[in-house]
Amino acid sequence: MNEHERVIAHEVGPAAVVAGAGSGKTRAATLRAARLARTGERVGLVTFTASAAEEMRQRVLAEDVPAKHVWAGTFHSLAFQILRQFPEAGGYEGFPEVLTPNDELRLFRRLWAELLDQDLDAELRRKLVKALGFFRKARAEEALEGWAARAGESLELDAEMLEALMISFQLRKREAGLASFDDLIEGASRALGDKDVRKWADRRFPFLIVDEYQDTSRAQETFLAALMPGEAPNLMVIGDPNQAIYGWRGAGSRTFERFQARYPQAVLYPLRKNYRSTRAVLRLAERAIARLYRSGQEAYYRLEGVKEEGEPPVLLTPPNAAAEATDVAREVARAVASGVPPEEIAVLARSSMQLAGVEDRLARLGVATRLLGGIRLSERREVKTLVQLLKAAWSLHERALVDFIEEAVPGLGERTLTRVEHAARPYNLVDRIMNDGAFVRGFSTRVQQGLFMTRTLLQLARATFEGVTGEAFAERFREFAQDLYGELLPGYLARIGKQGPNEEARRRHLERFVATVEAFAREEAEGGLDDLLARLAFLEQQDGPAVTLGTVHAVKGLEFEVVFVVGMVEGAFPILADDSDPEEERRLFYVAATRAKRRLYLSAPTYGPRGKILQPSRYLEEALDEGLVRLQKVRPAA
């Protein structure tokens, strides 16, 4: 049997599949699941994104197996399922409302504002974001002891206050029936100690296959051990330690070592053949990752390429970031013109901010794009603020209103807003601000000014869109957006533009969003604001072929004929911050390079802001020293 067939044929007991990039590991996992399901066994498939889970499920079902025998989902959706059925076993009186990470952060900041009895300035807000990150990472690593001392020392915050705040924060969430994603994992692990939950899990998941296991945190490992107890569970884990790139959320490159220590009898299946990339691309990736290993450990990173030699990766050296965006966009356009399908082209970066220039240049060239791992158009601050106001005015959505006020109305911070919210109860906050002048006048002059301003905007939004549909709705929408950021909130775009992207770029984002709304209005002749808000999440989906723009984290698991990696300079890729992990940065480059099937371009600008000379990424220096890349001067536009 070949290496895939051995994985597929594995019968019972624990197993670890250590699979290199492009080795077909997901195919092997789904074929094994299909084989088990055809014999009548129930199989669970666990991974890290809903889209990946659904793809795995569809692959299994395509092998003509009964759907009732296959479950696929994420760690969090599995924990959600357990707590939905057995909330008391997880420590909840009823099933909790799930908080998004942003919702959790907002609640955390408000509790701090209450503790200090003052609104938070920008610097303290920034520190609290990092403090919550410290706690989340420590919790995922199951290393909570001393987390507050570490966070306090790093952020110059009082450690005892941090510790007390977090205890109060956890209690408040529990009392309010709220749960973060991390709370779901912890609660489900606790629930699995209950005998009724144990019986349910044993019936539901006699076999479990976990994909992308290198991204598993210690807390998730504990959850898996609770779900599949014993010394020899029918648990197969699949992944690539060289693609462990989520250290900031508690994952690491040694998950497979811990798996083998927990299950000494586990069978190890290596998958080393790469079916994706040319040999020239593989050599570059191998040499980059090899520096993490000692002599004699080649089996951990060596890939056996089955494709042709191919062209060597190309190094581009534009003079600066603006020229890089222009040059890469032109090269992308040339590739499309030469016959490469747009969906087979990707532009990758270490940070989503590095993609803004390329996105803008491609839009000017008429090349459609889709953004992965960056900020969606509807999530950009200038667009989101507009949407929050409309949602609050039209649907009386309290959380949307609070978010809008925090973002756009001066003088109303977390502490003040908490007082306003409490005073409005038990009535709807939006309704009271819009329609109850006495309620607004019950606050100080400064607060009244902010609330009356909010009231004016809410009433204007209601009046503007009441009973308006189709083309008339589109016209009103454009006028409202222009007025909001012109006369009604003067200076807002300039203020947030100082934090990047600049005001001009933010106005372009707004124009694109308005154009999207206009397209919606053309398709929905009877559609108005209510319909727009209901369909907003679907309007940005790219139906036609599009070039992918994404962070390296976002494209892991994907592959493209042509890949561009921009911003390849020291400090940007790799990031050189005090809390960055040099080994993880190197694994990120390995992931970026191995997305390319045929052609790989690496771009390193020569100069930064104010003419500062930039140092090419160490990965490029190493590749140049070993002759693994070819330097190319970008041709001028035709």
Binding site for ATP, by residue number, is: 19-26
Q: How far apart are CA 454 and CA 460, in angstroms?
A: 10
Q: Which of 16, 79, 63, 559 is nearest to 281 (CA)?
A: 559
User: What are the beta bridge partners of residue 549?
Assistant: 347, 371
Q: Are 138 and 200 in contact (CB under 8 A)?
A: no
Q: What is the DSSP letter of 13?
A: S
Q: How far apart are CA 485 and CA 354, in angstroms?
A: 26
Q: Classify 126 as helix, strand or coil.
A: helix
Q: Where is the binding site, in residues?
A: 19-26
| Burial group, residue 248, by CB count within 10 angstroms (0-12, 13-18, 19+) | middle
Q: Six-digit token pair at 261?
A: 């220590």
Q: Which residue shows structure tokens 């060596």?
A: 302
Q: How far apart are CA 302 and CA 305, in angstroms?
A: 9
Residues 6 or more apart in contact with residue 247 via CB below 8 angstroms? 581, 584
Q: How far apart are CA 241 and CA 236, in angstroms?
A: 15
**DSSP string across 439-474:** HHTTS-HHHHHHHHHHHHHHHHHHHHHTT--HHHHH
Q: Six-digit token pair at 232?
A: 């020899």
User: What are the beta bridge partners of residue 274?
Assistant: 305
544-576 per-residue burial string, b: 16 or more CB within 10 A, e: under 16: eebbbbbbbbbbbbebbebbbbbbbbbebbbbe
Q: Are 527 and 473 in contact (CB under 8 A)?
A: yes
Q: Six-digit token pair at 205?
A: 């998941």
Q: Which backbone phi and psi does 568 adopt, to 5 degrees?
A: -85, 70
Q: How far apart are CA 631 and CA 638, in angstroms?
A: 21
Longest C-alpha distance within the chain, in Å? Answer: 80
User: What are the beta bridge partners of residue 207?
Assistant: 43
Cα dist. 97→116, 174, 410, 457 in Å? 27, 10, 31, 30
Q: How far apart are CA 494 and CA 509, in angstroms?
A: 14
How many angstroms separate the first and last alpha carbons of the chain? 53
* Identity at 447, one-letter amino acid code: V
Peptide bond into 264 cis (omega under 30): no
Residues 6 or more apart in contact with residue 287 via CB below 8 angstroms? 622, 623, 626, 628
| Burial group, residue 394, by CB count within 10 angstroms (0-12, 13-18, 19+) | buried
Q: Which of 479, 481, 488 is nearest to 513 (CA)?
A: 481
Give kind and range of the element (H or E) at residue 424: helix 414-424
- Between strands 267-271 and 369-372, the pairing is unpaired
